[in-house]
Structure 1
Amino acid sequence: MSGRSSLVARLFWTIVAGGAAALWFGQPALIATGAVLALILLHRIDRPRRFRRLVRRLAQRHARTLALRRRQECFVDAYGNLISDGWLRERAYFAERTILPHLAERGHAEDAERRWEEILSLVERVAASVRLPDETETPEDGVAYERYCAERLRAAGWDAHATQASGDQGADVVAEFGGIRLVVQCKRYGKPVGNAAVQEVAAAARYWSGDMAAVVSNAGFTPAARKLSAATGVLLLHHDDLAALRPVRASVRGRRETASS
């Protein structure tokens, strides 16, 4: 039943019930019926505001992650154009997988279909409202960026060190925490990182007997990189994610069995 049909049905049966009650109780029943009808109409009128509030609340639960993804997935190309395709996909994915199921549970499924663009706009506002650390503080030089990532991991409790440039087999940082070894490749890019980095760090994790592997970047990741990440267990992180990174055993698929012994 559509929202409008449901409203009409509620009004109709309220009037019917109220009319029947008025035959027995007179004016008090009519007054009560009028009050109920007013409440039903007010609830309906207030529905758009409740819809927006619910979407904002759901988005705010993930505000920092959304803000990070927004910054990662937007970049300026060689011609000076702002490219935000990756963020638009990420925003729609979040709305579809996180927002819509909750709206359906609250009886807003039809509203969500009609107000899809409004949902995206609300998510955009929440993501844009979060103040993130200044990206200009991040080292521009690749080697310095590797050391920067190692420092962020040490601050989070990892015993981390940058590897030597030669013989690292694709690992820029190796870190340990509670017996779990993490192998990291660091990419200070001006555009999304491709799946080659995922392949390289997955191979490096096997070489270093790593339990976890990650590509860390200031930029976002291509759809191909994200797909390969899901298949290999390689984490795709922004360097700000390192502060909350905790050890998880055997997240890299296809690594050496000796790593779990």
Structure 2
Amino acid sequence: MSGRSTIATRLFWTVVLGGGAAIRYGAPALAATGAVCLAILLHRLDRPRRFRALVRRIARRHAATLALRRRQERFLDAYGNTIEDGWLREREYFVERTVLPLVEERGFSDYAEPHFDEMVEIVERVACAHELPDEMETPEDGIAYERYCAELLGEAGWDARPTGASGDQGCDVIAEKAGLRLIVQCKRYGRPVGNAAVQEVAAATLHWSGDMAAVVSNAGFTPAARKLAGTTGVLLLHHDDLATLAPARRAGRRVLAAGR
């Protein structure tokens, strides 16, 4: 039943029942009926505001992740153009998979689909409003970035060390914790990281007898990299994830869990 038919039904039965009561009880019942009808109409008129507030609350629960994904999936190309295709897809994915089910559950199923773009815009504003650590503080030099990642892992209790520039076989940092060895490849890029990095760190994990594998970057990852990572069990992380990364043993080629 649509929202309009629902409110019409409510008003109809309110008038019918209230009218019957007014015949018996007079003016007080008539006034009460009018007040109820007014409340129903005001509640209906307030629906857009309540809808926006609900979407905003849902997005704010994930504000840190949304802001981080926005940073990862937007970059400048060689011509100085902002490329944000990945972020645009991410926004829509979040709305479809996270926001829509919740707003429909709260009775906005008839309202949500026509206002999909409005939900996307709310998500954009929430992501923009959330403050992240200054990216300018991240080392731009590749070797310095590897040391930086090792330090962040150290904050999470890992015994982490860079392997150095030569002979690393695709491994930039080795970290150990709780009897598990993590093999990390670090990419300080200005564009999304491709699947070559996933292939390299997966091979390096075998070479270094690792239990976990991760590619860490300040940028995002291409769809091909994400697909291959899902098959090989390689974690795709932003360096901000490292300070809270927990150890997780791999089963076969897949990582069972990696949590903050």
TM above 0.5, yes or no, is yes
CA contact (8 A) 1:103 1:109 kept: yes
Shift of 1:252: 6.7
The answer (yes or no) to whether the contact 1:211–1:252 under 8 Å persists in 2 is: no
User: Which position in structure 2 is the counterpart of 1:75?
Assistant: 75
Hey, what's the Cα distance between the residues in 2 that align with 1:110 and 1:194? 40
Letter in 1 for 2:147: R
Shift of residue 132, structure 1, vs aligned partner: 1.1
Do structure 1's residue 217 and structure 2's residue 217 form an aligned pair? yes
Q: Is the 8 A contact 2:22 2:30 kept in 1?
A: yes
Of 27-36 and 186-195, deviating more is 27-36
How far residue 251 of structure 1 moved from its aligned partner, in angstroms, is 6.0
Partner of residue 111, structure 1: 111
- Describe the SS at the equivalent of 1:214: strand
Say yes or no: does 1:91 pair with 2:82: no
Please say if residues 217 and 238 of structure 1, whose CA atoms lie closer than 8 Å, have aligned partners that are also in contact. yes
How far, CA to CA, are the matches of 1:32 and 1:108 in structure 2?
28
Check the 8 A contact 1:234/1:252 in 2, yes or no.
Answer: no
Q: CA contact under 8 A between 2:74 and 2:84: conserved in structure 1?
A: yes
Distance (whole Å) between structure 2 residues aligned to residue 195 and residue 229 of structure 1: 8
1:97 Cα deviation (Å)?
0.6
Aligned to 2:56: 56
- Structure 1 pair 217–252 and aligned structure 2 pair: CA distance change class (3 A): farther
> What SS does the aligned partner of 2:210 have?
coil
After superposition, give the CA deviation of every residue in 1:126-163 in whole Å (9 maximum; x if it has no partner): 00001111111111111111111001100121110111
Quickly say closer, same or farther: Cα 1:47–1:32, change in 2 above 3 A.
Answer: same
Counterpart residue identity of residue 151, structure 1: E
Aligned residue in 1 for 2:204: 204
Q: How many percent of aligned residue pairs carry the same amino acid?
A: 71
User: 2:233–2:253: 8 Å Cα contact kept in structure 1?
Assistant: yes
Structure 1 residue 172 corresponds to structure 2 residue 162: no
Deviations 1:162-221 (A, max 9, x none): 113333221111111111221111001110001111111112122222222111001111
* Closer/same/farther in 2, CA of residues 37 and 134 from structure 1, 3 Å limit: same
Give a deviation string over 1:58-96, Cα, whole Å, max 9, x none: 111110111011011000000110000010011111111
What is the alpha-carbon distance in structure 2 between the residues aligned to residue 199 and residue 16 of structure 1?
Answer: 71
The farther-off stretch of 24-33 and 45-54 is: 24-33
Residues 212 and 252, structure 1, Cα contact 8 Å, conserved in 2: no
Higher mean C-alpha displacement, 165-174 vs 151-160: 165-174
Shifted more, 22-31 versus 68-77: the winner is 22-31
In the alignment, the residues of structure 1 paired with residue 254 and residue 6 of structure 2 have an alpha-carbon distance, to the nearest angstrom, of: 54
One-letter amino acid matched to 2:242: L
Q: Which range is displaced more, 127-136 or 199-208?
A: 199-208
Preserved CA contact (<8 Å) 2:183 2:205: yes
Q: Does the CA contact (< 8 Å) of 1:212 and 1:251 recur in 2?
A: no
